[in-house]
Amino acid sequence: MAKKKIILAYSGGLDTTCAIPWLKEHGFDEVICFSANLGSEFTPEDLIRRGKATGASKVYVKDLRKELADDYLIRGLKANAVYEDKYVLSTAYGRPLIAKYLVELARKEGIDHVGHGCSAKGNDQVRLDVAVKMLEPELKIVAPLRYWELGSRESEIEYAEKKHLPIKLSKEKIYSIDQNIWGIAIECGALEDLRNEAPEDSYMLSQKLEATPDTPEYIDITFEKGVPTALNGKNMDFSDLLETLNGIAGKHGVGRTDLVEDRIVGIKSREIYEAPGAWTLIHAHKELEAAVLDRETLAFKEVISQKYAQLVYQGLWFTRLRKSLDAFIDKTQEHVTGTIGLKLFRGNILVASRDTEYSLYKMNLATYGDEDAFVRENAEAFIDLYAMPFLEK
């Protein structure tokens, strides 16, 4: 009889580590792992070693950082997408991309089952499942965490220890972590009690404010049609620029947020995030947009931005609506070209300079100096007409 195989989306974390032996105990002869390198702490060698040591027959690792950056993060940046004011959606962008490659690999290997280690009340199961269903409706999806007896992190750790599975004994015991180049998400442990301030050891990418440098750092970010193309005058590929910025802004304690968020399945959860580079880029991008976009486009784009963030969060990446919003957003970016100077200091991002050939800010209209070209006499007639619709007396 042919061997029953499954392709598992594998991160090397606790859930997917337990999933490998569990799937083999529950009807699968072979578990083939697929790991996307989106910029997490595990190296490809680590992942292959850990996956094999856990019982996978093969471990595919694919470096998808550039694809994540170019096809997902740049769109999110142009949209200024932020969920519930505090989450730049790092994890959420990764899921449809992982789904795309799970489907591709399943087709290539002729396998009709794909699996993942997402929690049964989390968002990621929805994102992965919806994306897989949209791309390949025939594939069967197996999500052990919806059924297995390992109902808590404690019981997973016990199971892993009993089976001598490779888990990292320190932080993995406490926190659940998801990381890519756009940011890092951390939950569980002491974070589950809203009365607790996030313990310092839960952060890993950014400096605590108490230890940030005493002097501010100035940086210049150059955009072309909404896409960052240079840092401090040096042309860089977007994903390299982002990774460099994570280092610079992280050193100044930029980009930490602590959010009680609304999950797709209806519950509220608390997560802390670090996204130094992403917040810096969004800040700079909005500053540039403020200078080059007219007020109606800006205001309408705010609405689109909210909707975009919801779609990404809710796993609706491959939908017609998301693509349509992108078409609108791309049109708005035609003049989003120029350089924004920022000052990073003790967790703050402050704008220092704006330089763009498409500026709608006209100094001769804004100035209170001698060069003033604003026709002051027009103001009275303008206001008469402007107020007219509202006059009830």
In the complex, which residues of this chain contact ligand ARG (CB under 6 A)? 91-92, 123-124, 176-178, 185-187, 271
Which of 15, 35, 127, 206 is an active site residue? 15
Active site residue 15: yes
- Residue 32 or 185: the one with the smaller Cβ distance to ligand ARG is 185
Active site residue 176: yes
Which of 11, 65, 124, 127 is an active site residue? 124
Long-range contacts of residues 222-226, Cβ cutoff 8 Å, at least 24 apart: 222/338, 222/339, 223/284, 223/285, 223/288, 223/336, 223/337, 223/338, 223/339, 223/340, 224/337, 225/333, 225/334, 225/336, 225/337, 226/74, 226/77, 226/78, 226/285, 226/329, 226/330, 226/332, 226/333, 226/336
In whole angstroms, the minimum distance from the beta carbon of 242 to ligand ARG comes to: 18
In whole angstroms, the minimum distance from the beta carbon of 36 to ligand ARG comes to: 14
- Residue 181 or 186: the one with the smaller Cβ distance to ligand ARG is 186
Q: How far apart are CA 96 and CA 130, in angstroms?
A: 9
- Report the side by side order of strands in the sheet with 227-231: 234-235, 227-231, 217-224, 338-345, 348-355
Q: How far apart are CA 251 and CA 58, in angstroms?
A: 38
Contacts of 380 (CB under 8 A, 6+ apart): none
In whole angstroms, the minimum distance from the beta carbon of 330 to ligand ARG comes to: 25
- Residue 91 or 337: the one with the smaller Cβ distance to ligand ARG is 91
Which of 50, 65, 75, 95 is an active site residue? 95
Q: How far apart are CA 158 and CA 146, in angstroms?
A: 18
- Residue 57 or 119: the one with the smaller Cβ distance to ligand ARG is 119
Q: How far apart are CA 217 and CA 161, in angstroms?
A: 46
Which of 11, 35, 40, 176 is an active site residue? 176
- Residue 48 or 275: the one with the smaller Cβ distance to ligand ARG is 275
In whole angstroms, the minimum distance from the beta carbon of 312 to ligand ARG comes to: 9
In whole angstroms, the minimum distance from the beta carbon of 91 to ligand ARG comes to: 4
- HEC letters along 66-114: HHHHHHHHHHHHHHCCCECCCECCHHHHHHHHHHHHHHHHHHHHCCCEE
Q: How far apart are CA 342 and CA 280, in angstroms?
A: 8
Active site residue 124: yes
Active site residue 206: no
In whole angstroms, the minimum distance from the beta carbon of 255 to ligand ARG comes to: 15
- Residue 177 or 292: the one with the smaller Cβ distance to ligand ARG is 177
> What are the catalytic residues?
15, 95, 124, 176
